[in-house]
Amino acid sequence: MDQNPIGLVFPGQGTQKAGMGEPWRETPSWEIVTAVSGVTGEDLAELLLDTPDEHLRRTDLAQLTVFTVAMVAYAEAVRRGALDGPVAAVAGHSLGEYAALTAAGALTLPDAAALVAARGRAMRDAADERPGTMGVLVAAPLEQVAELTDRVRARGAEVWVANVNAPGQTVVSGSAEGIELIGAEAPSIGAKMIRLSVGGAFHSPYMEPAAERLRTALKNTAFAPAHLPVVANADARAYAGDCDWPALATRQLTSPVLWEPSVRTLTGELGCRRLVEIGPGKTLAGLIRRIAPETGVVSLNSPAALG
């Protein structure tokens, strides 16, 4: 067995799809679905088995379903001994940070599920109050994307860098006008913009009302004083307890997700020789191959993938 240290990574919103729970429903770890339903008041089995894609795009439901599948997959991977090495650290992309905190032992499953439900509702409400959208710019360096958003904002349109995903892939967030202008000017930096089908301008100042609401829920939640290192989205630094997770998680809503630097922290400072994506899809594996091509990566996104 390979005993090189591994890092676990958990995907975020956007990886949900209809029927995503079906492969897991006959596993013992499916009991987590019942537990999350009990905490949140949502019928997660129905959402994971019988709900169409269009409905799952609703921000609060998307977050709950992705979190739940990630937790089922993680529990089943542990139960089957499918993690082929000691876990050195964990990280999650946006919403995935809550799955990471749970896997690290910083949060209990019920507390994490309650926070995910509160986060999703707060973000949905904030988006209703102040509609916005997002787009991903491909083929341009981060520095040029940041300069372009600065120029567009100087012209009075609201737009910000939201996700630093990988070399040549940066997500921007803001008003419909701001995203439209970024799209029109993207060729000037050699980029192409792809619109994202999302419910709001996430990871931007538009989420300040959500951050205010979530701050209270976070402060009322107990985080373990010591846990496996978790690389925070807000600053790409690793924390193993004795830190202010409520502040970091609140800041995450209104500031960029620093995914590319987070992966470099996992593979550099924390010494992870392989990264294991746990949850729906293969989005993070694709990004990791662009960030750290020398690092092995595997996606545990179905029971079959657990071997």
Residues marked active site are found at: 94, 203
For the residues of 190-257, what is the DSSP string, one character each?
T-EEEEE--SS--SSGGGHHHHHHHHHHHHTSPPPSEEEEEE-TTT--EEEESS-HHHHHHHHHHS-B
Closest CA to 93 of 219, 211, 226, 266: 266
- The secondary element (H helix, E strand) that includes residue 304 is none
Of the CA atoms within 13 Å of residue 221, those in its CB half-sphere come to 27
The Cα–Cα gap between 42 and 40 comes to 5
Q: What share of the chain is helix, strand, coil (3-state, %, to 5)?
A: 50, 20, 30
Contacts of residue 208, Cβ cutoff 8 Å, sequence gap at least 6:
126, 253, 254
Contact present, 127 and 203 (Cβ < 8 Å): no
Contact present, 159 and 181 (Cβ < 8 Å): yes
Beta-carbon neighbour count of residue 12 at 10 Å? 28
